[in-house]
Amino acid sequence: MVITMTVAVFVSAIYFVILYHNIYKIPDTLQKEEIFPVFSVDQKITLSVNSNIWDSIKPVTLPLFPQSARTAFGKYERKINVRGIYNKEDIAFLIEYEDETENRMGLGTPDYCAILFVPANSPASAQMMGFESIGNIWRWSALRDAKKIAVIREFVVHGPTTQKPMENQNVLGQGIYSKGRWKVLFIRKRVKQQKDDFEFMPTKKFKIAFAVWDGEKLETFSRKSISILRALTLE
């Protein structure tokens, strides 16, 4: 009996070591932290993915990898192009990526994409849920976009299974699909507007990451592609 219990404890310990490795461990080749610049503009930021305000902003190309909850982390899966801008009042991000199918409504799963913000001292992780710190997630839904109802949902997170909608939903957004490509816009006031909200000022230091769900592949919840955390800088 004692031997059986000892073996069970040993097996359980091995399981949790492997689980911890899959959740937290980032391959050494992906550990290098880079910067994601957000550029200052003088013009008003409008709710239009095709606004010419984005024309002079160079996109950052980011590789995305399967989240560790789905498959082994570290295998390149797709890429996205992201631009960031801010003015005296607002901060905005424009995400663009290829997608063979437009999944908005119907029997399948809609397309999603999201942005994660965490404090600058947050550790790298193979998950996108703000491990060991608070996180803010802005998630765009193709289905909500089609219905014009709360296109972007804001969540506060502290780790896996802790995702909670914020009391007020203040992020505006728009998604346009054309010629096999999504363009998705996120806009929010820079100032803190509610509890657990982040304030985007040059003196505030954050990291940023991105995620994409492919509705055609029935991706949802933890089944998604994510980027490595980058240092968010307001240029």
- Return left, alpha or beta for 61; rule: phi > 0 is left, psi -120 to 50 is alpha, else beta: beta
Token pair recorded at residue 79: 């890429």
**203 HSE (CA, 13 A, CB side):** 1
pLDDT in tens, 119-176: 988 776 656 666 667 899 999 999 999 999 999 999 999 877 788 999 999 999 999 9
Residue 130 corresponds to which amino acid?
A: G
> What pLDDT is attached to residue 26?
54
Q: Which residues contact 138 (CB under 8 A, 6 or more apart)?
A: 114, 115, 152, 153, 154, 171, 173, 186, 188
- For the chain, give every domain's residue range: 27-234
DSSP letter for 223, please: -
Q: What is the arithmetic mean of pLDDT over 110-114?
A: 96
Residue 29 corresponds to which amino acid?
A: T
Which comes out higher in pLDDT, residue 3 or 234?
Answer: 234
pLDDT in tens, 53-76: 999 999 999 998 887 555 544 466
Neighbours of 50 (CB within 10 A): 14
pLDDT in tens, 29-54: 455 568 999 999 999 999 999 999 99
Bridge partner residues of 85 (DSSP): 39, 92
Which of helix, strand or coil describes residue 98?
A: strand
pLDDT at 16 over 50: no
In a 10 Å sphere around its CB, with 0-12 CB exposed, 13-18 middle and 19+ buried, how is residue 221 labelled?
exposed
Instruction: Quote the percentage of the chain above a pLDDT of 90.
Output: 60
pTM for the model stands at: 0.85
> What pLDDT is attached to residue 206?
93
> What pLDDT is attached to residue 6?
59
Angle formed at CA 200 by CA 24 and CA 128, multiple of 5 degrees: 20
pLDDT at 113 over 60: yes
Give the span between the Cα atoms of 127 and 137, in whole angstroms: 13
The CATH architecture to which 27-234 belongs is Sandwich (2.60)
> What pLDDT is attached to residue 9?
47
pLDDT in tens, 192-204: 999 999 999 998 8
